[in-house]
């Protein structure tokens, strides 16, 4: 019986694959059998990670991609082989009070987290449609796709937009057998937020904020991406999958019953 979660024979492009969640997803795709193209601005890091995967017996290669630059997006897309799976993970964050964002900061976050991803998905999706063999598109959203926390307004705009785009593209591309879904990671420890999470007040807060009191890692997201990219998820589209230790649905409190 064929493994419904195998990616054998598939080609996957991971945008934002040099570290963190993107790298973890790229590794998971390769380990599941996909020819995996790791894409980002940092070619040195990508080449090193792709080489590690090849040394482990998997198929992996690097591709130059700067989602903040339209010319880079077009050049990368034009050079791609046929892509079965597109995972959009490229993104940045800037935590500030809403009234203090500059227009330059706003534009930079929007271009990286939304506009560049929009353009890449257009180009890759068009080829999927023309090829006529279906495909998978996965956006990496956030808890800010569906919830609100302070000082994340511009980031939240982009991640909310990706969740909206997920639903619309799922409806529009379903006729082409292209499934479009979104993963909403919770509090995932990465190089981008490691210093912030060293604060004891945040660690203590997390203990009461969700069912699983520990921080997540990129390795908690990779298997979910493999699932959504696999034939086992062919009848799942237009959905958002929270991988968040229960943050969006649960909370802990200090009460204990006597019996």
pLDDT in tens, 47-73: 999 999 999 999 999 999 999 999 999
Catalytic entry in 101, 151, 155, 247: 155
Sign of CA dihedral 17, 23, 25, 29: positive
Active site residue 151: no
Which tokens sit at 135? 């495909």
pTM confidence score:
0.95
How far apart are alpha carbons 132 and 78 in whole angstroms?
A: 18
The residues, ordered by sequence, that sit 6+ positions from 9 with a Cβ below 8 Å of its Cβ are: 33
Sign of CA dihedral 114, 44, 225, 191: negative
pLDDT at 195: 87
pLDDT at 18: 94
Residue with tokens 């203590």: 204
pLDDT in tens, 209-259: 999 989 999 999 999 999 999 999 999 999 999 999 999 999 888 888 998
């Amino acid at each position: 019986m064929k493994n419904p979660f195998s990616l054998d024979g598939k080609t996957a492009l991971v945008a934002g694959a040099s570290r963190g969640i993107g790298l973890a997803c790229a590794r998971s795709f390769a380990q599941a059998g996909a020819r995996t193209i790791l894409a980002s601005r940092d070619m040195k890091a990508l080449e090193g990670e792709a080489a590690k995967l090849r040394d482990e017996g998997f198929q992996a290669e690097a591709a130059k991609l700067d989602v903040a630059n339209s010319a880079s997006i077009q050049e990368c897309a034009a050079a791609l082989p046929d892509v079965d799976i597109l995972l959009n993970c490229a993104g940045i964050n800037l935590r500030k009070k809403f009234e203090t964002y500059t227009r330059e900061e706003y534009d930079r976050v929007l271009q990286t987290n939304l506009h560049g991803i929009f353009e890449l998905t257009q180009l890759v999706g068009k080829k999927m449609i023309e090829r006529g063999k279906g495909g998978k598109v996965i956006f990496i959203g956030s808890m800010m796709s569906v919830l609100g926390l302070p000082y994340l307004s511009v980031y939240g705009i982009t991640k909310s937009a990706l969740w909206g785009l997920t639903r619309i593209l799922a409806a529009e591309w379903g006729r082409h057998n292209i499934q479009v879904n979104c993963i909403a990671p919770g509090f995932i420890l990465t190089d981008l937020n490691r210093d912030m999470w060293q604060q004891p007040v945040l660690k203590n807060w997390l203990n009461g904020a969700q069912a699983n009191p520990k921080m997540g890692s990129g390795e908690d997201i990779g298997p979910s991406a493999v699932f959504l990219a696999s034939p086992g998820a062919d009848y799942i589209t237009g959905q958002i999958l929270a991988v968040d230790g229960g943050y969006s649905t649960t909370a802990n409190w200090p009460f204990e019953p006597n019996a």
